[in-house]
A and B are shown apart, each in its own frame.
Chain A
């Protein structure tokens, strides 16, 4: 359903929101963002084992909960709202989806239950130094050696790449170009020839790494050279999840800013009573609600098996990214000087908004892709 949530979905959201309010207050976010791992093992265990979130869209046959992308989107929206520091996007959204779409039956049976239970933390290593989340942007090569492969090259902007136990890596056969010859591989995070470096990120609540592969041993997922479509549709799901995550963050920023404006007095009255601030707030609400509509629609489109998922994925990514950043700018502004301080929480979302703006491709890229998808 694209325009409303079921009672079950609404209840799921409530439970999750309470859980995250409890487990991921900004004091925890601040504690974890200063660590290298950027995640709390206890909370990870609870959200995977008690709540089953890590396997939410993984079919029951592979140890998951068998829900749809709409439910996954609700989960990430709530995580975006609370800025949960955890490798959820990396493992469940990116890696599990990629394996679901590209692995053989045996591989899915072997790998997905671990991700679903939270015991395996996986990630997708796709973008390289050029920072493109496209099959065209893949330069890394894979060379066959018996029934194994050797990977050579460098991946960048890999979410939780420094801690993940399992890396799903995109590479191409030597001499191939464009969409041909692209495959996905699994590589153990601590395999010989894998060198990982945590990068300093604009958004410290989300850890990213650069990973260099030097003759690292890899297992092919599915059939060699035919994975471009699976990667594309993994990226569609990822963009849609990110859109929902951003909608959640923007919603929270708006809520906090309005609360503050109602409380803050200048010139003998609440600043919320100034018409210019009310108009700003109304514009923010419009931005946030439009963004949510795009994010929800796109998630439901995946579950409905719509043909235009690639188009709406890009539409949703660009729309929510722009709305999130604009909301963050306004939210700092409404807080005044306090909004520019480290101790005020607004900047935590501001930085998430800034880095989400370019993660999985910027708005100009996604708008161009939308035009192409619509044959414009």
Chain B
């Protein structure tokens, strides 16, 4: 353990904020100060914009920022996953080139994993990467790529050798999205938003130094990214809300949220908005209906238990202990909270659940919940895949016999449809 304590960290960050937080700074300049001081990502290594602070103390830093009303770094969307992957497996060049701009929000990232033929079975990727001369040339198609239309860089999983078994013939690249071989086509979702995309890669290029780790390590690196994604998908997931304060820095942040976070505007709704249930029940008078009261109590119980389970998992992490089973359950719990909340919001709204748009409850927020919650059981790994992981890795139940890992990838049956 370090010499830091909660009190010492709180005092230090409070002092630093008192000396530095300035609503009249441009947002980028403020973020630059965060990066230089290490307070933007205090648990990161000192040489990479951090302070080597134990993870367990980070929440106190966050609380002090919140108390001061200070804006933090731009860790939202795929950025935290990119940063975690680069910190774990990247070279100094990667860290140099990408980490700072991830924190300042200058670069947006996307995750080019899923393909038309491989979603749950990500290791079944068929997007090809071929070394031609001194350049990796990429050909193939990715799909469901959230915020690809905004991204400067993509985390790319691609196949370098189809003669190897499926998990071995993969490599992991950092792809420059702003090049001629990358075509991004938005896909409309059932809730009307178009936050994910099809990405067509035609002779897109990656310099060899932007492969992460080595050829053949792709699956292992992708697993790091996914682990961070799934761990982050628990009940503690927070969404930045724009402040209505008039100063420049808040206006810039509101703009950032509007543009860079545009793909995520409906994400709170897909989680079911259990936080709105009681307020809505009181507003509509549904709180006097004994049947609905029971349902509200059930969803709030589920939501609280999910939150506390996530906190147990974080506490273990913060105290440097290995997480127990609670660490693998957050994503699945979130999915059940979302479904149950949808159901309760429907009950509370009654016939108003037939309406959508501005004239519907809460200016359309409720309607958006009702048709967005299915996403949470799919994105970042489906509920079924989560259950397989939980039963096999946590409960150590035997795996189903597999037929796709014992022969060269090129001989494994693939989709007829794709």
A343 contact set on B, CB distance < 8 A: 187-188
Cβ–Cβ contact A199 & B350, under 8 A: no
Q: Which of A39-47, A263-271, A302-310, A311-319 contacts B (4 or more CB under 8 A)?
A: A263-271
| A 315-350 to B, binary, CB cutoff 8 A, 1 in contact else 0 | 000000000000001001100110111111011001
Q: Which residues of B contact A341 (CB under 8 A)?
A: 187-190
Contact residues of B between 362 and 400, Cβ < 8 Å to A: 367, 370-371, 374-375, 377-379, 382-384, 387
Assess whether B349 is in contact with A358, with CB atoms less than 8 Å apart: yes
Question: For the complex, is A208 an interface residue (Cβ under 8 Å from B)?
Answer: yes
A264 to B416, CA, bound (A): 8
CB pair B371–A354 under 8 Å, yes or no, is yes
In the complex, are the beta carbons of A333 and B292 less than 8 A apart?
no
- Whether B317 is near chain A, meaning CB under 8 Å from some CB there, is no
Hey, which chain A residues are within 8 Å of B353, CB to CB?
Answer: 202, 354-355, 357-358
Report chain B residues within 8 Å CB of A88: none
Partner of A336 from the list B192, B359, B378 (CB cut-off 8 Å) is B378
B120 on the A face (CB < 8 A): yes
Count of residues in B whose CB is under 8 Å from the partner chain: 53
Chain A 122-150: CB-based contact to B (< 8 A → 1; otherwise 0): 00000100111000000000000000000
The complex places the Cα of A132 from the Cα of B285 at a distance, in Å, of 14
Residues of B within 8 A of A333 (CB): 374, 377-378, 382-384
The interface residues of chain A lying within 8 Å CB-to-CB of B377 are 333
A202 x B356 contact (CB < 8 A): yes
B291 touches A266 (CB 8 A): no
Query: How would residues 158 to 170 of chain B score, 1 for a CB under 8 Å from any chain A CB and 0 otherwise?
Result: 0000000000000
Alpha-carbon separation in the docked complex, A277 to B187 (Å): 26
Q: Are B354 and A265 interface neighbours, CB within 8 A? A: no
Contact bitstring A335-376, B, C-beta under 8 A = 1, else 0: 011011111101100110011011100101000100000000
B74 to chain A, nearest CB (A): 27
Residues in A with CB closer than 8 Å to B404 are 267-269
| Complex interface: stretch among B1-9, B21-29, B95-103, B407-415 | B407-415
Q: Knowing A157-B351, A263-B416, A267-B124 touch, does A340 contact B292 (C-beta < 8 A)?
A: no
Whole-angstrom CA separation of A346 from B378 in the bound complex: 15
Decide: B416 and A265 in contact? CB cutoff 8 A.
yes
- Contact A339-B413, Cβ < 8 Å, known A131-B351, A268-B403, A358-B349: no
| Known contacts A332-B374, A364-B292: A337-B355 contact under CB 8 Å | no
B384 close to A274 (CB less than 8 A) = yes
| A277 near B384: Cβ-Cβ < 8 Å | yes
Cβ contact within 8 Å between A269 and B374:
no
Q: Is B374 in contact with A265, judged by CB distance below 8 angstroms?
A: no
Report whether B384 and A276 are in contact in the complex, using a CB–CB cutoff of 8 Å: yes
The interface residues of chain B lying within 8 Å CB-to-CB of A267 are: 120-121, 124, 402-404
A276 to B391, CA, bound (A): 12
Between A and B, how many residue pairs show CB distances below 8 Å?
141
Determine the distance from Cα of A337 to Cα of B291 in the docked complex, in whole angstroms.
Answer: 34
B residues near A200, Cβ cutoff 8 Å: 355-360
**Chain B proximity of A68: nearest CB distance (Å):** 29
A354-B371, A364-B291, A364-B292 as given contacts; A340 in contact with B354, CB under 8 Å = no
Is B339 located at the chain interface by the 8 A CB criterion? yes
CB distance from A355 to the nearest CB of B (A): 4
* Residues 310-345 of chain B, each 1 if its beta carbon lies under 8 Å from chain A, else 0: 000000000000000000000000000001000000
Asked if A14 CB lies within 8 Å of chain B CBs, one says: no
B403 touches A269 (CB 8 A): yes
Cβ–Cβ contact A368 & B291, under 8 A: yes
Say if the beta carbon of B35 comes within 8 Å of chain A: no
Q: Which residues of B contact A223 (CB under 8 A)?
A: none
On whether the beta carbons of A340 and B346 are closer than 8 Å, the reply is: no
Is B143 among interface residues, defined by CB-CB distance under 8 A? yes
Q: Are B356 and A364 in contact (CB under 8 A)?
A: no
Closest B residue to A347 using CB positions: B190
Which residues on the B side are within 8 Å of A263 (C-beta)? 415-417
Asked if B119 is an interface residue, CB under 8 A from chain A, the answer is yes
- Contacts A267-B402, A276-B387 given; indicate if A336 touches B119 (C-beta within 8 A): yes
User: Given the complex of chains A and B, what is the CA–CA distance between A336 and B124 in angstroms?
Assistant: 16
Q: Does B352 contact A (CB under 8 A)?
A: yes
- Asked if B349 contacts A329 (CB within 8 A), the reply is no
CA distance A346 to B384 in the complex (A): 19
> A203 to B143, alpha carbons, bound, how many Å?
27
| Contact (Cβ within 8 A) B347 A364 | yes
- Report if A347-B371 is in contact (Cβ < 8 Å); known contacts: A268-B403, A268-B404, A341-B189: yes
Q: A202-B355, A337-B144, A346-B190 are in contact. List 12 more A-B contacts (CB 8 A).
A: A201-B355, A201-B356, A202-B367, A266-B119, A266-B124, A268-B121, A332-B190, A337-B378, A340-B189, A342-B188, A342-B190, A343-B188
Q: List 5 A-B contacts (CB under 8 A).
A: A269-B413, A332-B374, A351-B190, A358-B349, A364-B292
For the complex of A and B, list the 6 residue pairs with the smallest distance between their C-beta atoms, beginning with the closest: A131-B351, A268-B404, A347-B190, A200-B357, A342-B188, A266-B121
